[in-house]
Amino acid sequence: MAKADKTATMSRLHSAARLARTALAARLLAHGFYAGQDQIMLALDREDGQTPGNLAGKLGVRPPTITKTINRLQAQGFLEKRASNADARQAHIFLTESGRETIRAIEKSVKKTEKQALKG
């Protein structure tokens, strides 16, 4: 593939990714979520009770970023922090009942966005 073709392909991929992120952000906002919060919620749905450090590692973000997002989700009533039984300095993050109830809406938002992106 010629360099110009590679550049054009990469440009289209970047544009498609940006459009998908924008569409997903709008869908999530309708359910009270901001960009990035969905990933934490879905990670906890797969494995509840993770530490902030573990979540940060799995999602590829820095611990201060995950802490800020966890605090916002906790203030919204979607998550709760509990001290570790083994080490009270360590927190574990759990979905609340309200948080569990929103998982389906998040999953539907992601699927609709994927479907729209692949539709063209």
Question: What is the pTM (predicted TM-score) of this model?
Answer: 0.84
Structure-token pair, residue 20 = 């998908």
Query: What is the tens place of the pLDDT at every residue in 9-31?
Result: 898 888 888 888 898 999 999 99
Q: Cα(33)–Cα(4) distance, rounded to whole angstroms?
A: 39
pLDDT confidence of residue 44 = 98
20-56: b (≥16 Cβ within 10 Å) or e: beebbbebbeeeebeebbbbbbebbbeeeebbbeebb
pLDDT confidence of residue 120 = 62
pLDDT confidence of residue 74 = 98
Q: What is the CATH number of domain 3-119?
A: 1.10.10.10
Is pLDDT above 90 for 104?
yes
Q: How confident is the model at residue 97 (pLDDT cuts 50, 70, 90)?
A: very high
Query: What is the tens place of the pLDDT at every residue in 41-82?
Result: 999 999 999 999 999 999 999 999 999 999 999 999 999 999
Mean pLDDT of 80-88: 90
